[in-house]
Chains A and B, each alone.
Chain A
Amino acid sequence: SQTIHQWPATLVQPVGSPLSLECTVEGTSNPNLYWYRQAAGRGLQLLFYSVGIGQISSEVPQNLSASRPQDRQFILSSKKLLLSDSGFYLCAWTHGGNQPQHFGDGTRLSIL
């Protein structure tokens, strides 16, 4: 069966520090991958998606970037974190089309 892993589960970082969040999927190949951010009590904002290795599309201009170095690995990064980068970051995968999305457990990021 397919599983999706995200780490770390929680992270506290100072303003201006770098960021790297990792997401891996097991049990499937060539998934579509997505990064979302969720502010407290709010909906999910799509940040990036990828349909293949090295292919990244950004949905909103921001301080973050994404990379997909391997088929089942998706990384969210920042060179310098801002206070506004705080939130709950979720990675998800699907086989595309109209298939449902499957989410990881998320990373709670607090910026001090």
Chain B
Amino acid sequence: GQQVMQIPQYQHVQEGEDFTTYCNSSTTLSNIQWYKQRPGGHPVFLIQLVKSGEVKKQKRLTFQFGEAKKNSSLHITATQTTDVGTYFCAGPRPNAGGTSYGKLTFGQGTILTVHP
């Protein structure tokens, strides 16, 4: 079945350093979504990428969708302690008939720790 893999599993950085997490799907995706989960909290939607090669920015966060629409990355410039949490990518999870009903397959997430 469809698999979505994320690396690294853990990342420890000093405040001010950059951070990147990578997401790879076993299948071509119509879109990819990114979520952030703060410690003790629930996942919160960050962004959706749809087009091949698309790049979107949210302040210090840069999201990229690969040309083949099978991989994606999230890069954070100059991390801050508020960036701490787990970052998940997720792609549509279709049934055998090809309809996803909004279902998603989530990657295992990258746990980011920022040391002040």
Contact = CB atoms under 8 A, between A and B. Distances in A.
B102 A94 contact: yes
Contact of B50 (A96, A98, A99): A98
Contacts, number: 55
Contact of B101 (A32, A41, A42, A105): A32
Contacts of A49: 101-103
B21 to A, nearest CB: 13
A96 to B, nearest CB: 4
Contacts of A51: 101
The interface centre, meaning the residue of B31, B41, B44, B106 with most chain A CB atoms within 10 A of its CB, is B106
Contacts of B92: 98
Contact of B108 (A43, A95, A102): A43
B95 to A, nearest CB: 8
Chain B interface extent, by class: 20 to 34
Contact of A42 (B33, B41, B48, B108): B108
A92 B48 CA distance: 17
10 contacts: A34-B103, A43-B106, A44-B88, A44-B106, A49-B102, A57-B101, A97-B102, A98-B50, A98-B92, A98-B102
Interface of B: 30-31, 33, 41-45, 48, 50, 88, 92-93, 101-109, 111
